[in-house]
Structure formats: structure tokens, C-alpha cells
């Protein structure tokens, strides 16, 4: 599966909405998520929701995200990831898989 960054970002946003337990307000509908959106703040998610996000993304992208990776939280920086940062992380993981299978 050859995914562009835009495809991956769309799937990230789709999965974030699927795991969200918060009702999306009219404001959220008129201001959709973008690269800078913090999904933890916007959708009321916490770090535990990262497991669900990883499972949903793994399913949709046909790639097993390593269990030690929480897409919602940047452990090194000790802060939540933005939609763009989650997308970059997934693209990096997909690229490393592609490189491993071509060796």
C-alpha cells in the first residue's frame, strides 16, 4: 500500500474521530482538525486513548504500530502530539517498514 502524507493524515483524523467519546460541537464541525490541532484538547482524549488510536491506525493502514509507541504522546518531549506530528510519526514508521522489506 503506497500512501501519501495526505492519505495518512486523513486516516489519522478519521481514527481520532472514531475513538473520541466527546460530542463534537458545532464549533468543531466548522473548524476541522488541521496539522496544528492537538487532538487531546480538541476531542477530550487522554494518553490511554493512544492505545485505541494505534489499534485503529494499524487496522486502517495494514501496519502493526509497535506497542511501545503511543501516537498521541511524545514521550521524549513529555507533551501531546499534534495531528501533523502524528502523521509524521506514522509516515516514518511506514517508511521504515518499506525499507526493511526491500533489504
Q: Per-residue pLDDT tens for 42-57? A: 998 999 999 999 999 9
pLDDT at 23 over 70: no
pTM (predicted TM-score): 0.86
* pLDDT for res 29: 47
Q: Taking CA 14 as the corner, what is the angle to CA 26 and CA 29, rounded to the nearest 5 degrees?
A: 10
* pLDDT for res 26: 43
Domains and CATH numbers, the chain: 5-102 (1.10.1200)
* pLDDT for res 64: 93
Residue found under cell 486516516:
11
* pLDDT for res 24: 54
Q: Taking CA 12 as the corner, what is the angle to CA 46 and CA 36, rounded to the nearest 5 degrees?
A: 75
Amino acid at each position: 500500500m503506497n500512501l501519501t502524507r495526505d492519505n495518512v493524515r486523513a486516516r489519522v483524523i478519521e481514527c481520532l474521530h472514531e475513538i473520541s467519546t466527546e460530542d463534537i460541537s458545532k464549533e468543531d464541525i466548522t473548524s476541522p482538525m488541521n496539522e496544528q490541532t492537538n487532538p487531546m484538547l480538541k476531542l477530550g482524549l487522554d494518553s490511554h486513548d493512544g492505545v485505541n488510536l494505534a489499534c485503529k491506525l494499524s487496522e486502517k493502514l495494514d501496519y502493526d504500530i509497535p506497542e511501545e509507541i503511543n501516537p498521541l504522546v511524545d514521550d521524549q518531549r513529555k507533551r501531546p502530539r499534534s495531528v501533523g506530528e502524528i502523521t509524521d510519526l506514522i509516515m516514518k514508521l511506514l517508511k521504515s517498514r518499506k525499507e526493511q522489506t526491500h533489504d
